[in-house]
Amino acid sequence: MPCFRLAGFSFILFMMGIGAFPLLGQEPKVIVLHNVSILALGGEIERRGQDLLIQGEKITAIRPTGWNLPADAVIVDCTDKWALPGLIDTHVHVARRNLHWPDDEQEFIEILAGGVTTVFDLGGRLENLKELKKKSQAPDWIGPRLFHCGSPLFGERVATMDSAMQRFIVNSAAEAEIAVRQLKNEGVDAIKIQWNVPSEVTKAAIDEAHTSGLLAIGHLMATSYQDAAKASIDILAHTSGLVTDYLGDGEREELTGRWFPTYLMAWEKVQIDRNARSKLQFLASRAVFFAPALAKELEVLRNEVATRQAALGEQVAQKFNGMLKLAFDLQAPLLAGSDYATDTNTRVTLHDELESWVAAGLEPRFAIEAATLNASHAIRQSDKIGQLAAGMFADIVVLNENPTASITTLREPWLVIRNGKLHRVDELKKRLRPHRRDEREIRAVLEQQEAAWNDYDLDRFMRGYWKNDSTIFASGGEASRGWNEMLSRYKKGYDTAEKMGRLKFTVQQVDFMGEHWAKVLGDWKLMPKDAKPATNGQPMSGGLFTLIFHRVPEGWKIVHDHTSVASVPQPAAAAPETKKKR
């Protein structure tokens, strides 16, 4: 537990809550992070043995220890600790569904506990985002500050996405201008242009955004990144979109309708050592911020690429890493954004993103700068957040170790400070429902299995099981032991698309048995392969399942599967006619 004392006399102050430190019933006038080391960012020199003074919501001074401190200051002993600016995630989706309070409060406490003090939402339900931004500005808010772009601009409706967030469908320059002006009136900080907006409409939206004083951000496919840069777009999101610079108009249009496997094939045109440098150099010369969402892109390749295309998917993954490293070498301004979404069980965090950059060859220091200094400049808040200096908002992460030595240290902050309010991370975590993240990860495994089955990809489906000889599958009075035997059994029993049909899992209950074990009860249905997912037609088969999950180094995996097959009612046969008696 941190030790706090009043300057001038010895006093241990125990935190009674997780908001601002109470001081005998009053908020302290000055808080001092005593004897802390300040991380060097943006060319600065590392500073050890510093006192960082906070008054109200701002940093008032940073100076070497040894100065006289205010008599009524609360001193937080930070010996051997490291301080850096609060992290900024420039790409999240926290309102793509209706928000339910107080349950959804946990989403934002969890984000803050990871040291993320500011988020930029790049597309959700406009009304939800307006409500959320208002909540985030309240004095008692426990979570990151929020900027957002409201509902994105689409070129046409996308059936697989939430209909409530597809408020603005724009097919002409005039429609784009009207939509941008309406978003401005709704109080957004930026506009987001989605992948299926035509090129000429994209340019009109960018122009109107700048006229309205808004940022223009794009996740583009119908428009090349080169053309968007010429139109002075502010931020380009997603590594996958870089392929648009190598394609013609017709090919880009095809990508907007067919993602897999079309874009994997398109990436064969990208050669890091031949034709990538000039493309990325152009983006760098236009000072367009590039937010690669690398960890999310790599996860999509791992989880959604068909097994038969695994080798091609791995080649594309290596190109993604190479493009990031090349963009950095060319001094393109980089942003760290996770594409974190609260409406899905599969979640990529800002920590995942920064670690993926380091794995691609960047030094941890530069990855951290992309989530602090660079991010504050990109979202036009560099005079308020993104660095530790007098006059800046007191958004601070305090760590037990230097994150430039190990980027994974960022996952476990000691203290998080936002707007001058200090939060002990262990206290923040106590407010979260136990095993909350674990349950999401388990549900994500089943969702990925369902998707793989419906792609008729049993090898990918089997990734949800522990690849071990002790894994057990029991069903129909028989039991098989071992991952390989299970795969063989599945391939023998489901050797055609007709037999596989369409699988639907419904999880009824998840019970945890300690830190590393969980039991899942649910039911399954196999519908005919041409049945639409939304219909409730007659299933081919179905039943219950009980799964035992175990947390292994690769994550949560199924180690025991007991599946029952229920009798499926068959359509009643017509009763035979009864002969009339003569």
Please provide the DSSP assignment of 404-439 as one string.
TT-GGGGGS-SEEEETTEEEEHHHHHHTSPTTHHHH
Cβ atoms of 556 and 512 within 8 Å: the answer is: no
Placement of tokens 């690849």 in the chain: 467
pLDDT value at position 72?
86
CA distance linking residue 328 with residue 319, whole number of Å: 14
Q: Within 10 A of 40 (CB to CB), how many other CB atoms are there?
A: 14
pLDDT value at position 219?
95
Peptide bond into 102 cis (omega under 30): yes
pLDDT value at position 9?
35
User: Splitting the chain (582 residues) into consecutive groups of 10 residues, what average pLDDT does each group show?
Assistant: 43 36 53 97 93 96 92 93 98 93 92 98 96 93 97 95 95 98 98 96 98 98 96 97 93 83 90 95 96 97 93 96 98 98 95 98 98 98 97 98 97 97 96 95 98 96 97 92 96 95 97 97 93 70 97 97 79 42 32
Q: Within 10 A of 199 (CB to CB), how many other CB atoms are there?
A: 17
- Residues pairing with 237 in the sheet: 291
**Which amino acid is residue 195, in one-letter code?**
W
CA distance linking residue 299 with residue 369, whole number of Å: 23
The architecture of the domain spanning 436-563 is Roll (3.10)
CA distance linking residue 309 with residue 374, whole number of Å: 36
The token duo for 44 is: 């600065």
CA distance linking residue 454 with residue 306, whole number of Å: 11
Residues 6+ apart with CB under 8 A from 68: none
CA distance linking residue 286 with residue 229, whole number of Å: 7
Q: Where in the chain is the domain with CATH 2.30.40.10?
A: 1-84+386-432
Q: What totals of helices (H) and strands (E) does the chain contain, helices first?
A: 18, 25
Placement of tokens 């601009």 in the chain: 153
For 133, left (φ over 0), alpha (ψ -120 to 50), or beta? alpha
pLDDT value at position 579?
36
Q: At 480, give phi and psi (nearest 5°).
A: -120, 145
Q: Residue 440 belongs to what H/E stretch?
A: helix 436-454
The architecture of the domain spanning 87-385 is Alpha-Beta Barrel (3.20)
Q: Where in the chain is the domain with CATH 3.10.450.50?
A: 436-563
The side-by-side arrangement of strands in the sheet containing 145-148 is 145-148, 116-121, 87-93, 340-341
CATH number of the domain located at residue range(s) 1-84+386-432 in this protein: 2.30.40.10
